């Protein structure tokens, strides 16, 4: 990329000579030397604010560039390269902050200097702004003025000083004390023709990378052999039984560099070959590691005596010793050669649920000389159950689902429930599933649930040692409510042998039926008499007895067969039959029977019927089935001393007929 090649150009013979001297100082001075940070800088053409200032914009730009180039603090972008980049990408030079930051970002600059010049009489006034590309703001906004051309160079030097102060102050503000601290706690691990180095950043320091230097002598000279962005370095292909000397320093991508660490001496030596970690498998709050000795024969003649396990929370380290494992720690006799045990297992305990850890393993011999590290392996303890969900809205059941745990040592899950989120949860199920192929585990709780109740659940995982994780986050769901009891039940009274019923439709959308119950009289039990479809809100109870009071109540049923409570009870009576005529009298005169009775009291009385009773039957007297008056005379033959029996009934307008009146007996004369 062009912008990455714009810096570092030759600055003449003097600069080259100085650079060479500086390189010699770095390589041959045994004491730490601090690198000089150079701010990558571009100067945009200074504009002019009036005609009188024509020509001064270019002059000020060139003078300021020459002045800054004399300082080791700046790496000034060549004007030709800047203009070529701007023309190629259709950018312009102006004094706007947004434009300076945009161009500076693309060119990888730290500082952009913009400004303009105006001339008032003999005074030449230079307005200058220094923009920090990283902070996207102006860190210096100043002006200098010269009376005539002769004083302009002096003012430009003053302006350079102001810029130096602003940039230095900006750097201190961005980086604390202005100096990156060197790595600390440097550890060495000699091996067979290799040296492994690891280190840590000091507190409150976060370097972007590290340069590693090596020498064959403690006093140097030290040559740079590598650059890494992790806190470790493996120096390979070294000579056997040779002592090497190392220094390390940190850097930021902004150009800031630390001093060197102290000198670290490390000698290559014969050691066991690194073991091979085969697996890191999850357990509850632990990780089970399985490894084997290296299959490559080692040049080390000493016996393999044990292993050291190193652990880190991050992939880039630092790795710290977690266990020193001898044969007894691994269930192996101390007399048994470890390099002959082809499968070694160890459980790293006391981890947190779901904690991710990175492991490296080293073997050591009788002289405690450790091998290089094995390849790094990532492991994790079984996590707290995730993805737990609860689905309600069903009849006395709640369906649970959660993310399955992938571990060969998983035995199953414990399911806990309570009616309060912070209650004392009780285990309702131990689900022994083992390691399943499905990404989700499901369970339906039907254990004694009620209607329209909220239940809270937590789930844990447990392994083959019966250890369980911490409970999951609680989730809840509500069981399906029963339908509300039907409302508005009413019946039409005094209907003939029937009771029409009606009610309001239930608000639920899944009502499939209404059950109707009736009580005959006032003391009997209610019995189911009908079931009507959910869309119907009417029913007619038929074939009832006259004048009887009936009790009614109904119950709604939804599509899942859940019944509501009973509606409010109502009582409805069928229409009673008319009262039997009273005061019936009779006589037989002149070949005719005369009957009289009291007039009917019912408002809807229609007529009376006259019946003649015999031992065998009771029949309406012909022609006397619609008698409206309370008396009647009719011809009949009745010999002297013979008797006939008569009764009268009343009939209303609906055709209901009363019981027979009291009998009247007439005798022939």
Q: How far is CA 147 from the centre of its chain?
A: 69
Instruction: Kindly indicate the confidence band of residue 171, based on its pLDDT and cuts at 50, 70 and 90.
Output: low
Q: How confident is the model at residue 492 (pLDDT cuts 50, 70, 90)?
A: very high
Biggest CA-to-CA distance, the chain: 173
CATH of domain 389-478: 2.60.40.10
Give 504's pLDDT tier (boundaries 50, 70, 90): very high
pLDDT at res. 273: 87
Answer whether residue 289 shows pLDDT above 50. Answer: yes
pLDDT above 60: residue 26: no
Do the Cβ atoms of 153 and 67 come closer than 8 Å? no
Looking at the predicted structure, is the pLDDT value of residue 4 above 80?
Answer: no
Give the pLDDT confidence of 639-657 residue by residue, as tens digits.
999 999 999 999 999 999 9
pTM attached to this predicted model:
0.56
User: Does 177 score more than 70 pLDDT?
Assistant: no
Same fold, 36-175 and 276-380: no
Number of H helices, E strands in the chain: 5, 41
Fold entry, domain 585-667: Immunoglobulin-like (2.60.40)
Q: How far apart are CA 527 and CA 515, in angstroms?
A: 10
pLDDT of 51 over the 50 cut = yes
Question: Residue 443's pLDDT is what?
Answer: 96
Q: Inform me whether the pLDDT recorded for 606 exceeds 70.
A: yes
- Token duo for residue 406: 């992938």
Position 513 pLDDT exceeds 70: yes
Strands 631-635 and 643-652: unpaired
> Residue 32 has what pLDDT?
32
Task: Pick the closest to residue 531 from 544, 512, 503 (CA basis).
Answer: 512
541 pLDDT exceeds 50? yes
| Average pLDDT of the chain, as a whole number | 87
Residue 388 contacts residue 443 (beta carbons within 8 Å): no
225 has pLDDT over 80: yes
Tokens 């006395």 label which residue? 396
C-beta separation of 264 from 197 below 8 A = yes
CATH code of the region 276-380 = 2.60.40.10
CB within 8 A of 456, min separation 6: which ones? 417, 418, 419, 420, 421, 423, 425, 474, 475, 476
> Does the domain at residues 490-573 carry the CATH identifier 2.60.40.10?
yes
Return all residues near 305 (Cβ < 8 A) that are at least 6 apart.
326, 338, 364, 365, 366, 368
Looking at residue 72, its pLDDT comes to 64
Q: In this predicted structure, what is the pLDDT of residue 465?
A: 93
Q: Give me 370's structure tokens.
A: 């450790």
pLDDT: which is higher, 347 or 84: 347
Domain 36-175 in CATH: superfamily?
A: TolB, N-terminal domain (3.40.50.10070)
CA separation for the pair 607, 581 (Å, rounded): 11
Across the range 54-74, mean pLDDT stands at 87
Q: Which of 617, 315, 249, 284 is nearest to 463 (CA)?
A: 284
Residues 630-638 have a mean pLDDT of 94
Report domain extents, the chain.
Answer: 36-175, 276-380, 389-478, 490-573, 585-667
User: Does the pLDDT at position 95 exceed 50?
Assistant: yes
Rounded mean pLDDT, 390-405: 95
pLDDT above 90 for 34: no
- Asked whether residue 387 carries a pLDDT value surpassing 90, the answer given is yes
How confident is the model over 614-626, as a mean pLDDT?
94
Residues 365 and 307: their CA atoms lie apart, in Å, by 9
What is the pLDDT averaged over residues 24-52? 62
Look up tokens 């049923």; give the residue.
Answer: 557
């Amino acid at each position: 990329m062009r912008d990455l090649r714009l810096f570092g150009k030759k600055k003449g013979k003097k600069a080259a000579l100085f650079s060479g001297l500086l390189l010699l100082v770095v390589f041959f001075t045994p004491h730490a030397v601090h690198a000089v940070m150079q701010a990558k800088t571009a100067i945009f053409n200074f504009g002019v604010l009036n005609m009188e200032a024509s020509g001064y914009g270019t002059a000020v730009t060139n003078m300021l560039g020459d002045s800054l180039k004399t300082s080791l603090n700046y790496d000034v972008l060549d004007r030709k390269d800047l203009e070529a980049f701007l023309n190629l990408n259709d950018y312009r030079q102006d004094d706007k902050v947004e434009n300076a930051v945009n161009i500076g970002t693309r060119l990888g600059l730290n500082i952009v200097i913009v400004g303009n010049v105006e001339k008032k009489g003999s005074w030449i006034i230079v307005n200058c702004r220094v923009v920090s590309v990283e902070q996207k703001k102006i860190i210096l906004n100043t002006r200098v003025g010269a009376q005539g051309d002769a004083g302009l160079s002096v003012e430009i030097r003053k302006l350079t000083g102001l810029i130096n102060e602003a940039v230095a102050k900006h750097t201190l503000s961005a980086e604390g004390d202005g100096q990156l601290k060197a790595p600390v706690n440097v550890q060495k691990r000699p091996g067979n023709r290799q040296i492994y180095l690891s280190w840590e950043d000091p507190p409150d320091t976060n370097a972007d990378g590290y340069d590693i230097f090596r020498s064959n002598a403690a006093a140097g000279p030290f040559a740079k052999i590598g650059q890494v962005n992790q806190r470790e370095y493996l120096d390979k292909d070294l000579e056997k039984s040779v002592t090497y000397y190392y220094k390390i320093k940190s850097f930021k991508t902004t150009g800031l560099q630390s001093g060197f660490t102290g000198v670290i001496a490390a000698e290559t030596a014969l050691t066991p070959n690194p073991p091979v970690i085969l697996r890191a498998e999850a357990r509850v709050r632990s990780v089970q590691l399985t490894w084997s000795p290296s299959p490559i024969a080692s040049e080390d003649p000493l016996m393999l005596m044990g292993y050291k396990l190193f652990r880190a929370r991050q992939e880039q380290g630092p790795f710290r010793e977690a266990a020193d494992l001898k044969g007894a720690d691994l269930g192996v006799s101390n007399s048994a050669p470890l390099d002959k045990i082809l499968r070694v297992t160890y459980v790293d305990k006391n981890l947190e649920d779901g904690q991710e850890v990175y492991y490296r393993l080293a073997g050591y011999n009788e002289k405690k000389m450790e091998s290089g590290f094995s390849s790094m392996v990532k492991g994790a303890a079984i996590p707290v159950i995730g993805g737990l969900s609860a689905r309600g809205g069903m009849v006395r059941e709640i369906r649970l689902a959660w993310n399955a745990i992938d571990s060969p040592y998983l035995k199953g899950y414990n399911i806990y429930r309570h009616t309060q989120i912070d209650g004392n949860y009780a285990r309702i199920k131990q689900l022994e599933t083992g390691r399943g192929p499905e990404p989700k585990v499901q369970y339906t709780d039907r254990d004694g649930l009620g209607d329209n109740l909220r239940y809270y659940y937590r789930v844990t995982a447990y392994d083959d040692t019966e250890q369980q994780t911490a409970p999951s986050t609680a989730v809840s769901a509500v069981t399906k409510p029963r339908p509300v009891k039907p409302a508005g039940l009413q019946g039409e009274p005094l209907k003939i042998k029937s009771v029409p019923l009606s009610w309001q439709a239930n608000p639920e959308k899944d009502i499939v039926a209404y059950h109707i119950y009736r009580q005959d009289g006032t003391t009997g039990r209610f019995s189911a008499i009908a079931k009507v479809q959910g869309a119907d809100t009417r029913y007619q109870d038929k074939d009832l007895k006259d004048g009887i009071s009936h009790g009614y109540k109904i119950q709604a049923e939804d599509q899942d067969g859940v019944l509501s409570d009973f509606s409010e009870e109502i009582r409805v009576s069928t229409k009673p039959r008319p009262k039997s005529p009273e005061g019936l009298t009779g006589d037989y005169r002149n070949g005719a029977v005369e009957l009289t009775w009291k007039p009917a009291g019912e408002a809807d009385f229609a007529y009376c019927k006259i019946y003649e009773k015999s031992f065998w039957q009771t029949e309406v007297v012909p022609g006397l089935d619609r008698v409206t008056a309370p008396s009647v005379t009719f011809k009949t033959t009745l010999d002297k001393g013979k008797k006939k029996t008569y009764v009268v009934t009343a009939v209303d307008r609906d055709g209901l007929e009363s019981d027979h009146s009291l009998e009247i007996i007439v005798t022939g004369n």
